[in-house]
A and B are shown apart, each in its own frame.
Chain A
C-alpha cells in the first residue's frame, strides 16, 4: 500500500486519482496509525517551506515517518515542497528540514542567472536525466515535466542528483539517495511522463 502523507498541504487528491488510474493501491494517511501499512510513502507539499514543516511537525506523523524511512528503509518520494523538505533547510524559511538528503533549498531570485526571469518557474521543462537513475527506467530521452516553484534543491553531493533542469541556471530537480527520492516537478500532473515516474516509484 502506498500512503500519501496528508499533513495539511499539497494536492493529495491528485495523487489518489493518479494511482487509482494506474491500478496501484494508494490511500491518504492522516494519522500515525494510517502509516502502519505503508510499503511506499509519498510526501507532497506546496506553499511556504516553514509552513509545510510546521504542519508536518503538528500532524504527529513526523517521528513515525523518520522511523519508517531512516530505520525500516521504506521508500519515500517527496514532491515539490515535499522534496524541498528532504534538505537540511531552505533560504525561504528559518526552520530546519528533515535533512534526509544533504543539501539546501535556494531561491532562483538570489542567482545572477535567474534573477531577471519571471517567478515562479511555471510550466513544462525538459529534464536531463543521469544515467542509471532508477525513477527514469524506460523513459524516452529528455522527458518533460510540469514545474511550479521559486526555490530549488541544491545537492551537496552530485551522486544524489538523478536529474537536472534549466531555468536561467541548471538546478537539481530530481534527487535520489538510496530509497529516498524527491522530485521538484509535479508527476501527478505531467501526463504520461508523470504516470511512468510514479509507476516506477511504486515498482522500485
Chain B
C-alpha cells in the first residue's frame, strides 16, 4: 500500500533553521544539520528544505550547505530557494538531492520547468505555490504570491497549478501563507479543489497543528503529501523548541483511521 507522505519542512534563514508565522517573524529553532540528523533517527518519510533568503536577496543557492545537508540526509530530500536555471537544478541533484523546488522562477516562466525536467527528469521537479486568501470587500478565492509573500500575481491558483504540471512539474506543493505557523489545520477545501484538477502527486503545507490535522487532510485528499513546519519543531503552547516526528505505529494508526 502506498502511504501518504508525512514531510517535515525546514526553513533556512541566515544559515540557521527558523520557523515563521504568516511568512513573517522568523524564530530561530536550531542548526539545520542537527535537525536532519534527528529526522534520520526518526525515519521521516521525506524532508523539504527551503532557503527563504535566496530568492528574496536575488542570490544563487548555497551549494556548500546543500552538499552538507544531502550528505547527512538518509531520506529523500527536496531543496528549494533561489533556483532560476536548469544548470543550477542539475548541480543540486548532483550533490545528492532527489528533488528541487521552484516557486518564483516558475511562476514568472513556466517554461523553466520544461527545461529543468529535460535536464533531471520530471519526477525530480517540484513546483511550490504560495497562496493567500484575497482580502477586501467582496473578495473571493486566492492569490498567488512569491518573494516570501511580498509579490502578488493575479492568476487563478488551480489554473497555475495545471500550467506548471503540464510544463514539467512532477509534484505540486500548495503552501498557505495565511495558515503558516498558525497550527489550526490545513485548508482542506483548497487542497481538495487542486487535488481534483491535478494528475501529479500533491503536497500541502501550512496549518498542521496536530496529528489529527494531518489525518483530516488525508481523509479529504487520500494519498497525499502532508508537509509540516511548526508541529515538528515546537512542543506545547509556549512553543518550546523540540524536534519531533510521529512513530511508524502512530502513522499507521492515522492511516487506518483515515481509511487510506
B214 shortest CB reach to chain A, Å: 14
In the complex, whether B3 has a CB less than 8 A from a CB of chain A is yes
- Neighbouring B residues of A124 by C-beta, 8 Å: 2-3, 5, 45
Tell me the bound Cα distance from A162 to B124 in angstroms.
27
Closest partner residue, chain B, to A6 (CB atom): B94
- Neighbouring A residues of B123 by C-beta, 8 Å: 46-47, 120, 122, 148-150
Tell me the bound Cα distance from A168 to B76 in angstroms.
23
- Neighbouring B residues of A21 by C-beta, 8 Å: 74
- Neighbouring A residues of B96 by C-beta, 8 Å: 11-14, 17
In the complex, whether B59 has a CB less than 8 A from a CB of chain A is no
* Contact, CB under 8 Å: B170 / A120: yes
Chain A 129-166, CB-CB to B under 8 Å as 1, else 0, gives 00000000000000010111110000000000000001
* Contact, CB under 8 Å: A120 / B2: no
Closest partner residue, chain B, to A17 (CB atom): B71
Chain B 1-15, CB-CB to A under 8 Å as 1, else 0, gives 111110000000000
- Neighbouring A residues of B98 by C-beta, 8 Å: 11, 148, 186, 189
* Contact, CB under 8 Å: A46 / B94: no
Given A125-B1, A125-B2, A192-B43, CB of A46 within 8 Å of CB of B121: yes
Interface size class of B (residues with CB under 8 A): 20 to 34
In the complex, whether B233 has a CB less than 8 A from a CB of chain A is no
- Neighbouring B residues of A144 by C-beta, 8 Å: 3
* Contact, CB under 8 Å: B121 / A47: yes
* Contact, CB under 8 Å: A13 / B71: yes
Stretch at the interface among B17-25, B27-35, B196-204: B196-204
Q: List 19 A-B contacts (CB under 8 A).
A: A11-B98, A12-B96, A13-B96, A14-B96, A47-B121, A118-B199, A118-B200, A118-B202, A119-B200, A122-B201, A123-B3, A123-B223, A125-B2, A125-B3, A146-B46, A146-B76, A148-B76, A166-B1, A186-B76
Known: A46-B124, A148-B123, A191-B75. 17 other contacts (CB 8 A): A11-B97, A12-B96, A13-B95, A46-B120, A118-B198, A118-B202, A120-B201, A122-B5, A122-B123, A123-B3, A123-B46, A125-B3, A126-B1, A146-B76, A150-B123, A166-B2, A192-B43
Closest 7 pairs (CB-CB, A-B): A47-B121, A13-B96, A191-B43, A122-B201, A118-B201, A125-B2, A120-B123
Using a CB–CB distance below 8 Å, which chain B residues touch chain A? 1-5, 40, 43, 45-46, 70-71, 74-76, 93-98, 120-124, 170-171, 198-202, 223, 225
